[in-house]
Amino acid sequence: MSTTSPAKQINLTDIIAPSFYELHHDITAGFHTFYKLAGGRGSTKSTFVGTEIPLGIMRDAAAGRFTNALAYRRYKDNLRSSVFEQLLWGIDKLGVSHLWQDTLSPMRLTYKPTGQQILFRGADSATKSKSIKVSRGYIKYLWFEELDEFEGPEKIRSIQQSVLRGGDKFTVFYSFNPPRSQKSWVNDPTVFTMPGMVEHHSTYLTVPQEWLGQEFITEAEHLKAIKPESYEHEYLGVATGTGGEVFTNLKIRPITDEEINTAPRHRYGIDWGFAIDPFCFVACGYDRKRRRLLIYDEVYQVGLSNRAAAEKVKQHGGQGKDIVCDSAEPKSIAEVRDYGLRVRGAKKGPDSVEYGIHWLQGLDEIVIDDKRCPNAAKEFIGYELDRDARGDFKAGYPDHDNHAIDAVRYACEDDMKRGGVKIGGW
């Protein structure tokens, strides 16, 4: 990998860390549009983007394509000290500073041979993105730096809908250090995703040490020794959690039809709902030997009558299956039974909620297919202990945002045995 300047040939391997080589080739070939770059301190992910954007603009110019770029931070006050300086660094390292003009008012970088521009904006108001214009060509490159600082995926989509117009090929970068909590929207794959998005994770361990300096390495190793969890979060970019996560045994991934068909036991559960709370039906596969639970299908909807809910369950394979329901609504149980479902109420006891959650926590794996079951995945990932006014965790498990969790507990009640005797009065 190399580029050239009038003075010398520049080797991209002197600018881009080895962990980004494959990604660079993917971007150059135009294989994907969306690139989600997560990583810890010193991973050089922002350095990589700050090099790829000016390099891409110049490469497009050489091919006769007039493209531009736009870099975002959550607040405009942070632009100059972050993305602006990072792009200037990339331009300098590429050996082409003489070909670029930088201005601060308005903040922009201009490629002198063609007039192509890199613009900078704060996302203080997503509506301002609609007024962004370029004199020629279109905005091909879009960079959201410190993605986790933005309000949420709705803001990102709004900006993209306003900016990504007028061209046939786009490249969008999202760079960030993962927040501690898996519940954060940037960490949750059920909340933030884009079609065909490439997800890349990097750390300082794949960066040449001479790039970082001995002081950086010493500080990292010191933190590793005294506070390993903080080290994992800050330097390895791991979402280590807030300490309040209830389920730490989750695997969010696709579940194949073969896995479903070969599951030793199939379990089905229902948690009732109508106006505010959703009706929730789940289908699970349980492997007792492997201590693994697959959650592979769901019905999750507000406003369903019992008749409509029964039809939905039949469409999702519930016809003729033994389904365990919340026993708090005997009338609903009787009604859906009349509609052709084989249902019975869960045998609740005084500690059934705690025991059911403990049982789920004790499994080696809870695998959830977030495409088939987006709501179940969201609930299990986001289920955390509540805090009191002082910020301390409350005793007991929260009784909110847990409809799929309850349905799974009901579904698996026959598997929750200790020495052959059911617990909690079950």
Catalytic annotation, residues: 146
Q: Is 73:123 a contact under the CB 8 Å cutoff?
A: yes
Q: Is 98:130 a contact under the CB 8 Å cutoff?
A: no
Q: Is 68:137 a contact under the CB 8 Å cutoff?
A: yes
User: Quick one: which H or E segment has residue 413?
Assistant: none
Tokens of 77: 């006050």
Q: What is the dihedral of CA 248, 254, 256, 259, to 10 degrees?
A: 0
Q: List the beta strands (DSSP E) in 15-99.
A: 34-39, 67-73
Check the CA dihedral 197-201-202-206 and report its sign. Answer: negative
Nearest to 72 by CA among 183, 176, 170, 1: 176
Nearest to 38 by CA among 178, 234, 173, 247: 178
First to last CA, the chain: 65
Which of helix, strand or coil describes residue 86? helix
Nearest to 286 by CA among 300, 301, 266, 305: 266
Which of helix, strand or coil describes residue 264? coil
Q: List the beta strands (DSSP E) in 114-249.
A: 116-122, 138-145, 171-176, 198-202
Q: Is 51:11 a contact under the CB 8 Å cutoff?
A: no
**The residue count for the chain:** 426
Q: Is 200:35 a contact under the CB 8 Å cutoff?
A: yes
Nearest to 122 by CA among 89, 67, 84, 153: 84
Number of CB atoms found within 10 A of residue 197's CB: 15
Which of helix, strand or coil describes residue 9? strand
* Bond into 106 cis (ω within 30): yes
DSSP letters of 345-368? Answer: E----TTHHHHHHHHHHTSSEEEE
CA–CA dist 116, 114 (Å, integer): 6
